Structure 1
Amino acid sequence: MLELVGPDDPRYAWSRSQFIGRPHEVLPHSVARCASAADVVAALALARTRGWPFAVRGGGHSNAGYSSTTGLLLDLTPTDSLSVSGDLVTVGGGVRIGRLAEALAPSGRLVPVGSCPSVGVVGAALGGGFGSHGRLHGLTCDALVSAEVVLASGDVVEASEEREADLFWALRGAGGGNFGVVTRATFRTMPARPRTHLRMSWDFHHAAALIDWWQRWAPDAPDGVSVELVVLGPESPDEEPVVMLVGAVPDRDALGFPDALGFPADAQPVFTEVVDVSAADAVLLHATPHSAVARDPVSIPLVHERPGMSTAKTEFFDRALPEEAVAALLEHFAAGRRHGELREIAFTPWRGAYGRVASDATAFAHRDQAFLVKHTVLVGPNGAARRGQEVLDRLAAAWAILHPWGTGRVYPNFPDPAQADWQTAYYGANADRLRAVKSHYDPDDRFHFAQSIPGTAQVGKIQ
Structure 2
Amino acid sequence: MAALPLVPGALWSGFAGTAWAAPMSKKLARSRVRPGQPGWPSAASWDGLKKNVAGRLLKLTPFFTGCEADASGPACKEALSHLTSAFDIGDQAALTQTSGWLDAWASRPSAYALAAKNTADIVAAVNFAREHNLRLVVKGGGHSYQGTSDAPDSLLVWTRQMNQVTLHADFVAQGCAGLAAPQPAVSLGAGAMWIDAYDAVITRGGRYVQGGGCTTVGVAGLVQSGGFGNFSKMYGTAAAGLLEAEVVTADGVVRIANARRNPDLFWALKGGGGGSVGVVTRLTLRTRELPETFGAVFFTVKASSDAAYRTLIAKLVAFYAGALFNQHWGEQIGFNTDNRVDVAMVFQGLSQQQAAEVWAPLLAWLRRREEYVFEKELQVLALPARHFWDADFFKKHAPGFMVADERPAAPAHHAQWKGDLGEAGWFIHGYKSAWLPASLLGMDRQADLAEAIFRCTRHWRVGFHFNKGLAGAPAAEIDAARDTAMNPQVLDAFALAIIAGGDGPQYPGMPGGAADPARGRDRARSIGRAMDEMMKVAPGAGCYVSESDYFLADWQAAFWGGNHARLARVKARYDPDGLFFVRHGVGSEAWSEDGFSRLPGTARRG
Please classify the TM superposition score into its range, dividing by the shorter chain length.
0.7 to 0.9
Q: Which residue of 1 aligns with 2:136?
A: 54
1:284: how far off? Answer: 4.4
The answer as to whether partners of 1:439 and 1:456 remain within 8 angstroms in 2 is no
For the structure 1 residues 93 and 217, does the alpha-carbon distance in structure 2 shift closer, same or farther, using more than 3 Å as the test? Answer: farther
Per-residue CA distance 1:380-433 (angstroms, 9 max, x = gap): 124663345444433333222211222421112224322111111010111111
TM-score of the aligned structures, taking structure 2 as reference length: 0.66
Partner of 2:385 in structure 1?
279
Report the alpha carbon displacement of residue 214 of structure 1 after superposing the two structures with TM.
4.0
Report the Cα offset of residue 109 of structure 1: 1.1
- Which residue of the partner structure matches residue 100 of structure 2? 22
Shift of residue 317 of structure 1? 0.8
| 2:208 maps to 1:110 | yes
- Change in 2 beyond 3 A, CA 1:10/1:198: closer
1:255 deviation in Å? 5.9
1:322 CA drift (Å): 3.0
Partner of 2:427: 309
SS state of the match for residue 135, structure 1? helix
- 3-state SS of the aligned residue for 1:327? helix
| Residue 7 of structure 1, aligned match among 50, 56, 60 | 60
Measure, in 1, the Cα distance between the counterparts of 2:317 and 2:390.
Answer: 27
Bigger mean CA offset, 254-263 vs 121-130: 254-263
Deviation at 1:176, TM superposition (A): 0.9
* Deviation of the 1:19 alpha carbon: 0.8
- 2:450 & 2:62 partners in 1: Cα distance? 56
- 1:325 corresponds in structure 2 to 452
Q: Distance in 1 between matches of 2:339 and 2:401?
A: 22
The equivalent of 1:37 in structure 2 is 119
Find the aligned partners of 2:588 and 2:426 in 1 and give their Cα distance. Answer: 35
Asked which structure has the greater CA Rg, the reply is 2
**Which deviates the most, 247-256 or 54-63?**
247-256
1:218 and 1:226 in contact (8 A); partners too: no
Structure 1 residue identity aligned to 2:223: A
Give yes or no for the alignment of 1:396 onto 2:500: no
Is this contact kept in 2: 1:214–1:229, CA < 8 A? Answer: no
Matches within 5 A, 1:179-218: 179-205=277-303, 208-218=310-320
Distance change >3 Å, CA 9–CA 370, structure 1 → 2 = closer
Would you say the 8 A contact 1:194–1:276 is kept in 2?
no
Unaligned segments of structure 1, at least 5 residues: 234-238, 289-295, 334-342
Given the superposition, is the C-alpha separation of residues 212 and 67 from structure 1 closer, same or farther in structure 2, using an over 3 Å criterion? farther
Q: How is 1:105-184 mapped onto 2 (pairs within 5 angstroms)?
A: 105-184=203-282
Aligned to 2:504: 380
1-structure distance, mates of 2:256, 2:231: 28
The corresponding residue for 1:417 is 550
Of 167, 183, 186 in structure 2, the residue corresponding to residue 89 of structure 1 is 186
Quote how far apart the aligned CAs of 1:282 are: 3.2
Q: What amino acid is aligned across from residue 576 of structure 2 in structure 1?
A: P
Shift of residue 207, structure 1, vs aligned partner = 6.0
> Does the C-alpha gap of structure 1 residues 268 and 198 become closer, same or farther in structure 2, counting only changes over 3 Å?
farther
Aligned to 1:78: 161
Deviation at 1:221, TM superposition (A): 2.7
* Equivalent position amino acid for 2:433 in 1: T
Deviations 1:192-236 (A, max 9, x none): 212252232223437655543444444663312225213468xxx
How far residue 35 of structure 1 moved from its aligned partner, in angstroms, is: 1.4
CA distance in 2, matches of 1:193, 1:325: 37
Task: Sort the Cα spacing of 1:440 and 1:231 in 2 relative to 1 into closer, same or farther, 3 A.
Answer: same
Unaligned runs of 5+ in 2: 1-51, 66-78, 80-91, 170-183, 404-414, 441-445, 506-511, 592-598
How far residue 9 of structure 1 moved from its aligned partner, in angstroms, is 9.9
- Higher mean displacement: 242-251 or 28-37: 242-251
Q: How many percent of aligned residue pairs carry the same amino acid?
A: 25
How far is the alpha carbon of 1:356 from its aligned partner?
A: 2.3
Residue 72 of structure 1 deviates from its aligned partner by 1.3
Q: Is the 8 A contact 1:218 1:227 kept in 2?
A: no
Could you tell me how far apart the structure 2 residues matched to 1:31 and 1:248 are? 41
State the SS of the aligned residue for 2:485. coil
Using the size of structure 1 for normalisation, the TM-score is 0.85
Distance of aligned partners of 1:159 and 1:405 in 2 relative to their CA distance in 1, 3 Å threshold:
same
- Paired position in structure 2 for 1:257: 357
What's the Cα RMSD here? Answer: 3.1
Matched, 1:362 2:492: no
Q: Distance in 1 between matches of 2:230 and 2:319?
A: 16
Q: Is the 8 A contact 2:61 2:94 kept in 1?
A: no
My pick for the range that moved more, 346-355 or 137-146, is: 346-355
Which stretch of structure 1 is more off in the superposition, 410-419 or 216-225? 216-225
* Cα distance per residue 1:85-130 (max 9 Å; x no partner): 1121100011001121111222221211121011011211111111
Q: Hey, what does 1:245 align to over in structure 2? A: 344
Q: CA deviation at 1:169?
A: 1.0
Counterpart CA distance in 1 for 2:340 and 2:362 is 23
Distance across 2 between alignment mates of 1:396 and 1:84: 45
Structure 2 CA distance for partners of 1:257 and 1:38, relative to 1, 3 Å: farther
Aligned partner of 2:147: which letter?
Answer: G
Determine whether 1:300 maps to 2:398.
Answer: no
**Closer/same/farther in 2, CA of residues 225 and 185 from structure 1, 3 Å limit:** same
Q: Call closer, same or farther: CA 1:41–1:131 in 2, change over 3 Å.
A: same
Distance 1:91 1:211, change over 3 A: farther
How far the C-alpha of 1:298 sits from its partner, in A, is 5.2
Aligned residues: 439
> After alignment, is 79-88 or 375-384 more displaced?
375-384
Q: Which amino acid aligns with 2:132?
A: R
- Which whole-Å CA distance do the structure 2 matches of 1:9 and 1:386 have between them? 22
CA contact (8 A) 1:346 1:375 kept: no
Give the AA of the match of 2:199.
Answer: E
Q: Give the deviation of 1:77 after TM superposition.
A: 0.3
